[in-house]
Structure 1
């Protein structure tokens, strides 16, 4: 029943990002897919992950800075990234049609603008930004699994 309510809210209140997620899902239709707490997970061989409504696109090859001593083993890292991305789907439930403006755009800018990339190259965790910190918190709260904390990857 929880999954049905989750899907119903994502397809109504979270329609803009879910529609965009469905288009990306169709583009990646040949990839591996599975369900996780009501969300549709698609694995892709790209260096980053993204959540769009009830669609989560996870990387099979997480970006890792080779200069940093990452203490999280690859398999554990993938599980934690999934919890983090699932947290973004909960943000979609909360912010609805404002999700792309309040969460999506700031998160994308934080992830890809050179200025912020330079900050992260100097030891600032990607997961310290407000959108990412909230995604970690919500993902852990709902799934009862560990997320990324302030990992530097």
Structure 2
């Protein structure tokens, strides 16, 4: 996909989630964090051992994040291109809730299914691999 088309769709059809990403990116820039580019997306590395989160064309990952994690978060960018304003209710909220539930379950010693066992996470991984 052309970078101009990627950002045009992100900032029109997918603008809702990108506004949050822009705000977080602005705060991080003001605190001295440096942005990086992963294909067409912009990402920041912050914190340690927490994974990542996507807000459209922007994503945020743990320091020294593996390429697999970056690719996965990049895949969420393509979900936003396809789902636009529905991304928040179809992917972002369910994914965030699931992340926090898994975190509690892990602390309690429960056996967890693979992360990509959830439909929107496996879809993000597939899209990230396809477009990386």
Instruction: State TM-score, norm by structure 2.
Output: 0.88
Q: CA RMSD in A?
A: 2.1
5+ residue gaps in structure 1? 63-77, 144-153
SS in 2 for 1:12: coil
CA contact (8 A) 1:45 1:61 kept: no
Q: In the alignment, is residue 80 of structure 1 matched against residue 36 of structure 2?
A: no
Distance 1:120 1:98, change over 3 A: farther
5+ residue gaps in structure 2? none
After the TM superposition, list the runs of 4 or more consecutive aligned residues in structure 1 that deviate by more than 6 angstroms: none
Q: Which of 7, 21, 33 is 2:35 aligned to? A: 33
Number of residue pairs aligned between Structure 1 and Structure 2: 128
- Deviation digits for residues 27-74 of structure 1 (CA, Å, limit 9, x no counterpart): 111212111221111111142310101001111166xxxxxxxxxxxx
Relative to structure 2, which stretch is displaced further, 53-62 or 107-116?
107-116
SS in 1 for 2:11: helix
Q: Separation in 1 of the partners of 2:59 and 2:110? A: 26
CA contact (8 A) 1:110 1:116 kept: no
